Structures are given as C-alpha cells and as structure tokens.
Structure 1
Amino acid sequence: MSPDLALGTYRCRDIPQAAAQAIACGTSWIDTAPNYHHGHAQTRLQPVLAGNPDLRVSTKVGFFTPDLATAAGDAGVLTPAEAAPGHCLTHGYVTWQSRRNAAELGRAPDIVFVHNPERAVRPHDAITRAFSALEAEARAGRIGGYGVATWTGFDGAFSVADLLRIATRCGGPGHHLAAVQLPVSLVMLKPVAQALDGTGPLAEATATGLDTFISAPLHGGELPAMVTDDLARLIAPGHTRAEAALRVTASTPGVKHVILGSGRARHREAAQRVLSLPPLSDKTLHEVIDVLGA
C-alpha cells in the first residue's frame, strides 16, 4: 500500500492557504506543533480543522516559544530553570501543553507526539513522565493517542521496544501509544538500510502495529539541489531531482505517512503522483545506499 501525503506546518508561510491546497490535493492529515510559526501554527489551523471535521491532526509537546514559557510559568507548570533549555517534558508541563494544544486547535488532536526526547539528560525518564501524562489525557478523551517524534533518538537513545515497554508501564496492555515520527531521506538513509534488513524503527513499529510518520523527506527543501542528475537517473529515470529523492522515502518499507511542508499546489500534486507510484525495488534502494552510504 502506498504511503499517504501529510502536510507539515513547520516551514509554511501561509498555513491556512497551504492547508486548503493540501486538502484539495487529497491530504487527510496535518502535522503541527505549538512552537511552529512563532507559536501561531495551531491557532491558524483552527478554522481549517473546524471546516474539515474528518481531517486528522497531530501536534507535539516539548519545545516552546518565549511567550509559551511565560504563560506556562504564570500557570505554575514551568520554573525558570526548566524553561532555560527551551524544552521541557515534566508531567505537569506536558499535561498543560497538551490541553493548551487542544484549545488552540479547537478540537482534540488525534496524536500528540513527545518532541525530541533525546534532548533530555535522561531520555527514558523524560519519556516515562511524558507518557504518564499523555496516557491520562488519552483515557480522559482529550487526545486520541500519543507517540514520539524524534530526529536522532533512534540512533541509540531509545528504541521502539523501549517506547512500548514504557507505554505498557504507564498504561498497561491497553496503552495509547500510537505512532512514531522520524526523518527518512537521501540525507538520513540509515532507516532505509535498516528497513531493508527488517530491523530498525520502521520495521519494529510496523511489526507492533504503530503508525509511522516521516519528517523532512526533502531535508527542509535542500535535497533537490544536492541530488545529481546521475543519482536521479539511478533512482528513477525521467523524474526530477525532487521526485527522485521523494521516491526513495516513499519506497522504504514501513513508511505510512510522508510529511511535506510545501504550500504550493504544483509541488503537492507532483508529490502525490510520486507517492502513488509502485515502490522502487530493493535492488535500486540498495544501489542508492551503496552510492551514498547509510
């Protein structure tokens, strides 16, 4: 089954317009966070979500803007010491941020991701505190479920198995851990190599029924300029450089949702076409890894 294309709001200049274009192209999922777009991403999504009740949305807890830090401090859930790193995963802060997310979105988010817990001094302890808070929110019906969105966490800070063990401790066998989010691209090829071998976070998540969301498939828009014509031809003759790069991500086993931040209709239409194509062969993916290294 082909992965579907989600809208990411991290780099969107005009979030309502990008969301409208994404919905017109068939997007059914939007990914956001309270610190995106200078702290305004969620409120700018609210009318879009209100007008599209079937649209699904994921957001995050962890990072905050200076204004959010002030509000959390005034609410008594964030001390100056906790605010200093710009990232916090205490039980009280996660609960407060999760409820504020829902208020800004105007509805309960389908998934709340714990954002880059590898930043914590003791990631497993931070994840445990966050999962405990989010499990309570899920049981109360204030969120649909939770997960972890990470950049480098699966490189040794924790594994999918660790996340499942922590979720089971916090919520029992009926826990609400639902998904993981991680980067997969021509720059971040390690998850591709692992997935081809049946190992790593994508294989582990798929085997245990967790949803998978892929961030930065074009590495913040930088990849098309980095891909050579020879590499694009190796991947998929006739594709543009951006399409070739995206095809690798979409062809990786275990990828279910690809998050793309472009607000331009023609870019999303091209991406939708790429994701609808049959996956590249394992042989081609191995050749790409041999050329670039994992």
Structure 2
Amino acid sequence: MRTADGDVILGLHRSGHPRDVLEAAADLGITRLDTASNYLRHRSHETLNAVAGDLLSKFTVSTKVAYFPDGHSLAPARLRAAVERAAKDLGREPDTVLLHNPEHSRPAAGLLSQACAALADAAQTGLCGGWGVSSWDPRPLVGFDVPQPDVLMVRAGLLVGLDVLEAAEALAARWRPSQVWGMSPFNGSTTEAVWERFDPRIFLRDGPSVTKVQAAFRSAYHLPQVNAVAVGTDDAGHLRELVDALAHEVDHHVVTEYRQLLQGRRQSD
C-alpha cells in the first residue's frame, strides 16, 4: 500500500506465514513482503514458496542474510551462497537482499565493506534485484564507508532511542541509499504498558479520530524519515487497521518538538 509518505511492508518476523494474511495483504494493496533467511527457524523461504508460491508474483520480496544455523557470519562467500539458496528456496530471485545486522559481528571496516561488496555483486550478476543493509543498532556502523546501497533498513517509531535514531540518520546521510525503510514500529508488541501511559495521537493532526496503534504506526514514518515501514502480524484485522492509518496526516511541528524533548533529556542526564 503506497501513500504520499510511503509504503507498508508486511514483515514476517515472528510470523507463521499463514496464507490468509498474505491474501489479505494483497487485497489491501500491500505489495511488499520482508523476511530473512533465519526466520521461522531458518525455513521462511521454503515455507513461503510452499504456502503461497502462487501469490508471490503479487509482491516484491526482500530478505536478509548473515544469520546461519551455526551463527552470524559476514564471510563474503557464505553471503553469496545464502543469496543463491534464497532464490532457490523462494522459487524466484529476491527483489532485495539485505545484510542482516552486521553490527552483530562487530566488523572492522574492511570486513563490512567486503560483505556489502558481495551483496552488491550478487545484485549486479542477477541473483537479486538490489541489495542493502538492515541494522537493529546502527551505532557501531557510523563512520564506516560501504558501496552505496539500494536500501538501508533501521528501527523506526516512538520507542527508538535518540542515539539509535541519530545513528540511523547519520548512516543514511553517509551511505546515501536510494530508500530508507523502517521496522519494528511497536518494538514487537502493541500491548506494552507504554501505550497505556502515553497517547501517540498527539502526533496526528486529526488524532482523536484514530486509535493509539494507528497513531504510533503513522508517526513511525517520520522517526526517522523513511520511505516504507515493515510491520509483522498474523492478524488481518490489525493489518487493515495499519493500512487505514496512512490516510491520516502527521503534525510535523509535534515531531520536531518531540525530537527537541529527547535532545533536552539527554543533555540533562
């Protein structure tokens, strides 16, 4: 689903990959799926192909590589083999392959550059449509140079700490990806106590007419500024609620004030 601000991506983290949710996503106009080689106990790709292979033509598919059954690795040869395996298990070439949490292995600049170069080469040789980096905590990556990625994927939303938010923005400015995607706008749950204590509807111009969940999701497109947000759910009703949230307008003045508040709290600590 695309709006003036961006797209909704159906993320498959913690998902059982049910066909009915994939069908609902397609019916709602969502055209992007995001998964990873290690999701669903390292069986996400083959499960997607088995459960919904005939539906995959309705979506662009992004996946991530670097986590293997024996651990995390940035070895270029292993990454390339993982891309090849992803295409085989999916029954099609992925549209985008992301280097999954490179900070996990605390890479030196040379190793990170080599890992990124391996994915860039995979894209250039037709194993995937494009490549990028997905980082849960981009702070260790700030200051490193890599080949210009097609996508940078980072955490987005009201529960992202200022240091992580600023590191994501610094990477986007340094690496100049064609697109920046957000993920985990609810930090894994819409039922955490924080949503009882705090009302995110203040971030929307027509806040009273939406749910807290919708407001939190909608504001995630601006913390940091992203082209799309990936959200995981096996509930078609929840997915519809999020798609409907895109019709509402964010109050950019409130977003600016929120950023200033975060900065002020850091300075006072």
Q: What TM-score comes out, normalization by structure 2 length?
A: 0.84
> Once the 2 structures are TM-superposed, how far is the Cα of residue 126 of structure 1 from its aligned partner?
2.9
Tell me the residue number matched to 2:111: 126
**Aligned-pair distance for 1:122?**
2.4
User: Do structure 1's residue 158 and structure 2's residue 142 form an aligned pair?
Assistant: yes
- 1:61 is aligned to 65
Aligned residues: 257
Equivalent positions of 1:110-149 (< 5 A) are 110-149=95-134
Aligned to 1:240: 211
Contact 1:202 1:253 in 2 (8 A): no
CA drift of 1:9 comes to: 0.5
Structure 2 counterpart of 1:101: 86
- Residue by residue, what CA displacement relative to the aligned partner does 1:111-161 show, whole Å, maximum 9, x if unpaired? 1100111122324233222122222222221111110000112x24235xx
Matched, 1:46 2:49: yes
The residue aligned with 1:35 is 38
Aligned with 2:232 (options 248, 251, 261): 261
Task: Write the distance in 1 (CA, Å) between the matches of 2:86 and 2:220.
Answer: 29
Q: Is the contact between residue 49 and residue 90 of structure 2 (CA under 8 Å) also seen in structure 1? A: yes
| 1:284–1:96 CA distance, 2 compared to 1 (3 A) | same
Give the Cα separation in 1 of the matches to 2:255 and 2:221. 11
The structure richer in helix per residue is 1
Deviation at 1:225, TM superposition (A): 3.7
Partners of 1:222 and 1:245 in 2: how far apart? 9
The correspondence of residues 69-218 of structure 1 with structure 2, limited to 5 A, is: 83=70, 86-153=71-138, 155-158=139-142, 162=144, 165-167=145-147, 177-190=149-162, 194=166, 200-202=170-172, 208=176, 210-218=178-186
SS of aligned partner of 2:150: strand
Amino acid at match of 2:106: V
Cross-structure match for 2:13: 10
Cα RMSD between the aligned structures? Answer: 2.7
How far apart in 2 are the matches of 1:218 and 1:268? 13
Amino acid at match of 2:20: Q
Q: Contact 1:181 / 1:212 at 8 angstroms: preserved in 2? A: yes
Change (3 A) 1:189 1:281: farther
Partner of 1:271: 242
The answer on whether the counterparts of 1:30 and 1:56 sit within 8 Å (CA) in structure 2 is: yes
Q: For residues 247 and 225 of structure 1, do their structure 2 counterparts lie closer, same or farther at Cα, with a shift above 3 Å needed?
A: farther
Letter paired with 2:30: T
Is 1:286 aligned to residue 256 of structure 2?
yes
1:18 positional shift: 2.3
Q: What SS does the corresponding residue of 2:57 show, helix, strand or coil?
A: coil
Structure 1, unmatched stretches of 5+, are 66-82, 169-176
CA distance in 2 between counterparts of 1:7 and 1:287 reads 30
The Cα of 1:218 is off from its aligned counterpart by 1.0
Q: Deviations over 1:57-97 (max 9, x none)?
A: 111111123xxxxxxxxxxxxxxxxx4xx101101111111
Q: C-alpha deviations, 1:239-279, integer Å up to 9, x for none?
A: 3221121121024463111101012121111101112322x
Per the alignment, residue 199 of structure 2 pairs with 231
**Stretches (4+) displaced over 6 A:** none
Structure-2 residue corresponding to 1:74? none
Matched residue SS, 2:200? helix
Shift of 1:52: 3.9
Determine helix, strand or coil for the equivalent of 2:199: helix
